[in-house]
Structure 1
């Protein structure tokens, strides 16, 4: 198999012989050419991203929404890999003590995202940053024996449970080719290119997944790269896009489209799928932010109605905290707000009375309360 996207290399001999894929460097040669549908999708994706950016600049509490979006994208991206966790699991105020293996995966993805957003101020998008992100993603969770923070030193392959090199669905580049391909990808991510930045983002994600430089966690790091590259290209100023919802909904097509590039060299059909994913995901994000903002405005009005000035101060502090932590328990919340337990307890009672908070559960003596309407909007796609 020798296509525009790469070729098969024969490795070892005799009964140990196998072939691995060697990806061609980006950009594709001959260059990407979009048909009329592709151009239309490209325009639509840019339009939706511009709308999302406009909202981000206009809404005063956008940072709070973004912190929730990071959690949502982490959850959805992990669910693609088969992680069994819910939004409530991830937002549980007792997550430190209730954490299980699946929730730990999502929590680490959140940490890796937050780490990458900070670190990109000091480093360009490069192999070093990617390895550091991977180190955070795999810290203390399953797969941690698979060289967290390091590119693989052995051959890996993709296939069902129990598959081997003999019957694998896909065998990424051998270690030597993988290191060369990652070096070329790093160069491409930081080079000038005449291709549209959204097309480049599609190519970067495909290429990373094809190289598969880690023994575990490639899918999650590859999807995190989408957000980081869009920010690097100044198409996003915040990680408010949760593209993993579309990719999860269309999981089989997602994998099949990347396989098709390797099989035939047809990058264009993958780019069309990716542009659709961006357009739909950005439109979803815009709709959700509109709903969250409307809910915020409505409840700010409810809070100021019929409360005295002293009580209103605590209620406002608690309400702001809720928009970043929509599931709470009183003790932890009082500590976070630097307010007495009793004051928070009284404020919680007022918010229940006003229909903003609901008691969700009781764990031992600890009562968990949730900002149910807010959670309902966020839960939409999970």
Structure 2
């Protein structure tokens, strides 16, 4: 099997059969963006939903950690598990860090080679694959296949190293072009091309998926890169890879773009539903807090919305009081009202779960 010969972008796309899907996806995404743009405190929703995206994208690559385990790890400041599970959790946390870094980077850099190298360095920091030349493009051949398979049985062999520079330069020009007829189609094409170039030794899939909401944010389609499209790809993993391979083998862009637009539609609707449920939950609990007679009650509510699994240790760093008893009393009230559930059953190092929020974001 030879290295894949990748054509430069843009491809020749017939938009006629895509018009209905493009219009619908843009309409639904516009509705989500209207909702996000009018949320007074976006940070309340961002952390749980970005973590959800990070878990789903990493799961495609084989990690097994759940969203609960990620939040519990952060609440404890360590893992109750060791080895593989902790590595999984750290990969997920790195993915979330990379999204935050991408937002900051866009203030100084355009989407392109240096941008993706920086994100890659964050993604592979101190985790599996950190020995895979993090932050640098590959200098040796790679191939995609089943674990342990030889190159002769590869599913796909990306372009040769000698072609990377020109292909990435072309990709960069394409993603920054203002002349493409539709941003969603442009993003679908850019995602395929990045995965096909496969510029890194490891982490290409996660970087490529991370760039989807980042592109939509950079182009003003989303006011915040909050669209966990990886959940759709993870749920339909075989289809995801199958449609990508159809572009490789048959130059069938139309099927891939329709599939991509479907992922945008479904996940935008799901994100919108979750955001509305989260806002309703916040409002209903906030109304209860007036009976708590504590100036810190709303502050604790904000803390557990951002981190729905938490600990006394975490809370005391966020609430500005010298009285630990004040925090203990508040935690007792939150438990009495069944806002928080203590899950360890121990007397020390207690972990509290905001169960109603976890039910929404699972």
Alignment TM class, shorter chain as reference? over 0.9
CA positional deviation for 1:39? 1.8
For structure 1, the 5+ residue unaligned runs are 1-17
CA deviations on 1:265-303 (whole Å, 9 max, x unpaired) are 111110000000000000000000111011111101111
Task: Give the CA deviation at 1:105.
Answer: 0.9
Q: Which of the numbers 42, 52, 57 marks the counterpart of 2:32?
A: 52
Contact map agreement 1:352 1:358 (CA 8 A) in 2: yes
User: How many Å separate the matches in 2 of 1:270 and 1:342?
Assistant: 57
**Structure 2 match to 1:369:** 352
| Distance (Å, rounded) in 1 between the aligned partners of 2:108 and 2:131 | 28
Helix, strand or coil for the counterpart of 2:153? coil
1:22 aligns with 2:5: yes
Q: CA deviation at 1:112?
A: 1.2
Q: How far did residue 95 of structure 1 move?
A: 5.0
CA distance in 2, matches of 1:265, 1:307: 62
Query: 2:292 corresponds to which residue?
Result: 307
Task: Return closer, same or farther for 1:254/1:167 CA change in 2, 3 Å cut-off.
Answer: same
Q: Aligned residue for 1:188?
A: 174
Q: Quick check: which one's strand share is greater?
A: 1
Aligned to 2:329: 346
* Shift in Å, 1:96: 3.1
Distance 1:322 1:230 in 2: 28
**Cα separation, 2, equivalents of 1:113 and 1:96:** 21
Distance of aligned partners of 1:94 and 1:80 in 2 relative to their CA distance in 1, 3 Å threshold: same
Match of 1:283 among 263, 269, 281: 269
Hey, what's the Cα distance between the residues in 1 that align with 2:223 and 2:304? 24
Aligned ranges 1:25-44 → 2 under 5 Å: 25-28=8-11, 31-36=12-17, 38-44=18-24
Structure 2 residue corresponding to 1:265, chosen from 251, 256, 274:
251
1:82 paired with 2:62, answer yes
1:208 alignment counterpart: 194
User: 1:180/1:371 Cα in 2 relative to 1: closer, same or farther (>3 Å)?
Assistant: same
CA distance in 1, matches of 2:169, 2:347: 53
Aligned twin of 1:96:
77
Match of 1:328, SS state, is: strand
Does the CA-based 8 Å contact 1:66-1:239 persist in structure 2? Answer: no
Residue 300 (structure 2) aligns with = 318
With 62-71 and 138-147 compared, the bigger mean Cα shift is at 62-71
The CA RMSD over aligned residues, in Å, is 1.4
Q: Is 1:328 aligned with 2:306?
A: no
Where 2:149 maps in the other structure, the secondary structure is: coil
Q: Deviations over 1:15-60 (max 9, x none)?
A: xxx51012111110xx211344x22211111111111111112222
> Tell me, which stretches of 5 or more residues in structure 2 are unaligned?
none
Task: Give SS of 1:60's match.
Answer: coil
> Residues 126-275 of structure 1 correspond to what in structure 2 (within 5 A)?
126-275=112-261
Kindly indicate whether the alpha-carbon contact (under 8 Å) linking 2:3 and 2:158 is maintained by their aligned counterparts in 1.
yes
CA deviation profile, 1:91-117 (whole Å, cap 9, x unmatched): 114453217111111011111111111
Report the secondary structure of 1:238's partner residue: coil
CA 1:54–1:140 in structure 2 vs 1: closer, same or farther (change >3 Å)? same
How much has 1:335 moved relative to structure 2?
1.7
**Is 1:62 the counterpart of 2:42 in the alignment?**
yes
Q: TM-score, normalised by structure 2?
A: 0.95
Instruction: Report the counterpart of residue 93 of structure 2 in structure 1.
Output: 107
Deviation at 1:364, TM superposition (A): 7.6
Q: Distance in 2 between matches of 1:287 and 1:116?
A: 26
In 1, Cα distance between equivalents of 2:117 and 2:241: 23
Separation of aligned partners in 1, 2:132 and 2:277: 42
**Secondary structure class of the residue paired with 2:3:** strand
Give CA-to-partner distance per residue, 1:119-144, whole Å, 9 cap, x none: 11110001001001000000110111
